[in-house]
């Protein structure tokens, strides 16, 4: 992001700097380690990290590990890996919400002593009933007026594990008639008998996010808590916690709209369900919108950051066309990816007039978009593979590929003519016999005839065997979040979101491709060698065809 880039968040920060409220900007990204990060997380990372960078400030990674039931070190490790892959270095450090459990407890005791918190015996259902509605005020808990001494004793017993899970909560004493439901004596501590992934069995009471988060921000010196729009109604509680604990430096919470993308879901609950129900092959399935899935598919961090930047920073939620994301990926890979030839559905072509056993090499450009990319030598022999779709026994109108008695150019090599076709008992083409115009080695026919079709190919004697995965949108419905009553998002899963070709033939040089390497397979799209498979497996990142930019000119 350029130094000149600005948005409404920066305008608030400029105001705070001008008024002297702050002099050094400090932001943070606080993910809960209960799943893998997705592209929506990338927006929050970009906003927080780029804002800190613009103002010469600091950026923290802080794990919000205050709910041990679903948290795991697997998620902790994946989050840091994703953050660094995006290039968002946590210049202010890496922290854990659980690092502050002692301070959270200490501040809770302070609130009790100040008469601003009390232990409540209401069940969750009873608390919900007492809470009231958007149009009706809540009513006070019958335990709201317990003495400070009784509350301190009960809270200590909660900490010591003397009560059953869920039997008591510590609640902030604010205002049960507040028009903001979040201010109606919210719970700030609950009893949970689950071992914590870092703290072990030290605690059986855990602070809730709305209480712990402002404390963590204040203790780390965060100046601006930049978060998604669903926390806007929580801001008064955020400020109440900071004010009533008595922090001198008060972080400012600013909310921005979340990102939603067509043909996908970004709810962590839905993503977890897809994994747990086996609808996808794990969190890093290349069809998933997780950063690990997109990385495995072949997306680049630069393209993802460009996408979230183009999607913009606003206060109102919107749905962004997934075509914009694909455009950013395509645009990035077009500049960098080396071109290679690969045949996904091969049929053999035998060139009958080519000397048997001969091999020659043609110089083919590595990337026409980059003059410094040079050329590579590609082996050619008397038997090659072409795509089955590049041949038709009965060609449709305007078919400019290979057909009986027709000519076509093998890309970067000879012009060939189909003379004979061999088929099996079912009529499937098994071999195409051709002759080559041996005077057209990457050149035009001497008689001046025009050859309209060019197809890619791979030398049979030098081919590398591989498996190739082609991906489509995970969901058929454009806006998966807009469901009618009774509909389930799983109803719209695309049954054709993955198509696998098992018997692909690749250009010889691809045998040296390393996991994660990206290429353009000419005429087919952009591909990445799978990062998990030990065998030769390539995943298509995105097709060559770009409809988004044409529709949005």
Catalytic entry in 28, 190, 268, 287:
268
Give the tokens for residue 123. Answer: 């069940």
CA 233 to chain centre: 27
The catalytically annotated residue of 32, 273, 302, 360 is 32
Three-state secondary-structure class, residue 386 = strand
- The question of whether 32 is a catalytic residue gets the answer yes
The reply to whether 553 belongs to the active site is no
Q: Look-up: residue for tokens 């902030």?
A: 172
For residue 347, what is the enclosing H or E element?
strand 346-351
Q: Hey, is 214 helix, strand or coil? A: helix
In the three-class reduction of DSSP (H, G, I as helix; E, B as strand; rest coil), residue 101 is classed as helix
In the block, tokens 């590929």 appear at 401
Residue 106 · residue 61 · CB < 8 Å: no
Q: Which value, in Å, is the radius of gyration of the alpha carbons in the chain? A: 31
Q: How many Cα neighbours within 13 Å face the side chain of 145? A: 3
Spatial distance between the Cα atoms of 436 and 384, rounded to a whole number of angstroms: 12
Assess contact for 271 and 78: CB atoms under 8 A.
no
CA–CA distance, 480 with 475 (Å, rounded to integer)? 7
The Cα–Cα gap between 11 and 55 comes to: 12
**523 vs 540: CA distance, rounded Å:** 12
3-state secondary structure of 249: coil
First-to-last C-alpha distance (Å) of the chain: 23
Separation CA 238–CA 92 (nearest Å): 22
Q: Which of 54, 144, 258, 348 is catalytic?
A: 258
By DSSP bridging, strand 224-228 and strand 252-256 are parallel
Examine the residue annotation and report whether 269 is marked as an active-site residue of this protein.
no
Task: Provide the edge-to-edge strand list for the sheet that holds 117-120.
Answer: 117-120, 169-172, 187-191, 205-207
CB burial class (10 A; 0-12, 13-18, 19+) of residue 56? Answer: exposed
- Spatial CB neighbours of 79, under 8 Å, sequence gap ≥ 6: 31, 33, 36, 37, 61, 63
Catalytic residue positions, numbered: 32, 258, 268
């Amino acid at each position: 992001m350029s130094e000149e880039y600005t948005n409404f968040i920066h305008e608030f920060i400029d105001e705070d700097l001008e008024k002297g409220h702050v002099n050094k900007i400090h932001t943070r990204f606080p993910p809960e380690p209960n799943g893998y990060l997705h592209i929506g997380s990338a927006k929050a990372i970009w906003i927080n990290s780029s804002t800190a960078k613009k103002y010469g400030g600091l950026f923290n990674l802080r794990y919000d590990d205050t709910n041990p039931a679903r948290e795991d070190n697997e998620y902790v490790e994946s989050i840091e890996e994703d953050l660094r892959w995006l290039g968002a270095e946590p210049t202010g450090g890496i922290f854990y919400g659980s690092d502050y459990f002692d301070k959270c407890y200490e501040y809770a005791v302070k609130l009790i002593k100040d008469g601003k918190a009390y232990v409540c015996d209401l069940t969750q259902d009873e608390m919900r009933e007492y809470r009231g509605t958007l149009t009706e005020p809540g009513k006070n808990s019958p335990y709201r007026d317990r003495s400070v001494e009784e509350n301190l004793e009960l809270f200590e017993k909660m900490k010591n594990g003397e009560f059953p899970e869920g039997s008591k909560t510590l609640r902030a004493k604010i205002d049960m008639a507040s028009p903001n439901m979040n201010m109606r004596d919210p719970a700030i501590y609950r009893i949970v008998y689950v071992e914590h992934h870092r703290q072990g069995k030290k605690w059986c009471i855990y602070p809730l996010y709305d209480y712990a988060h402002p404390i963590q921000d204040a203790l780390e010196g965060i100046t601006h808590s930049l978060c998604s729009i669903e926390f806007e109604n929580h801001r008064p509680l955020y400020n109440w916690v900071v004010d009533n604990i008595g922090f001198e430096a008060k972080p400012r919470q600013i909310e921005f709209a979340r990102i939603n993308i067509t043909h996908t879901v970004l709810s962590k609950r839905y993503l977890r369900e897809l994994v747990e129900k086996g609808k996808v092959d794990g969190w890093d399935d290349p069809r998933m919108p997780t950063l690990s899935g997109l990385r495995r598919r072949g997306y680049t961090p630069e393209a993802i950051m460009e996408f979230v930047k183009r999607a913009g920073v606003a206060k109102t939620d919107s749905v962004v066309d997934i075509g914009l994301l694909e455009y950013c990926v395509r645009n990035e890979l077009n500049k960098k990816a080396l071109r290679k030839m690969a045949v996904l559905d091969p049929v053999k072509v035998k060139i009958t007039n080519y000397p048997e056993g001969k091999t020659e090499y043609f110089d083919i450009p590595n990337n026409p978009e980059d003059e410094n990319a040079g050329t590579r030598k590609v082996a050619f022999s008397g038997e090659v593979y072409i795509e089955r779709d590049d041949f038709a026994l009965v060609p449709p109108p305007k078919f400019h590929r290979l057909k009986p008695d027709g000519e076509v150019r093998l890309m970067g090599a000879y012009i060939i003519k189909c003379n004979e076709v061999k088929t099996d008992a079912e009529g499937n083409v098994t071999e195409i016999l051709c002759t080559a115009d041996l005077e057209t080695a990457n050149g035009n026919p001497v008689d001046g005839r025009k050859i309209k079709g060019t197809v890619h190919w791979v030398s049979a004697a030098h081919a590398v065997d591989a498996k190739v995965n082609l991906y489509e949108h995970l969901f058929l419905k454009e806006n998966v979040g807009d469901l009618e009553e009774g509909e389930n998002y799983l109803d719209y899963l695309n049954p054709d979101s993955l198509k696998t070709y098992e018997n692909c033939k690749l250009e010889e040089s691809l045998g040296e491709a390393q996991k994660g390497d990206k290429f353009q397979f000419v005429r087919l799209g952009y591909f990445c060698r799978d990062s998990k498979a030990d065998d030769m497996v390539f995943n298509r990142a995105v097709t060559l065809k770009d409809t988004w930019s044409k529709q949005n000119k």
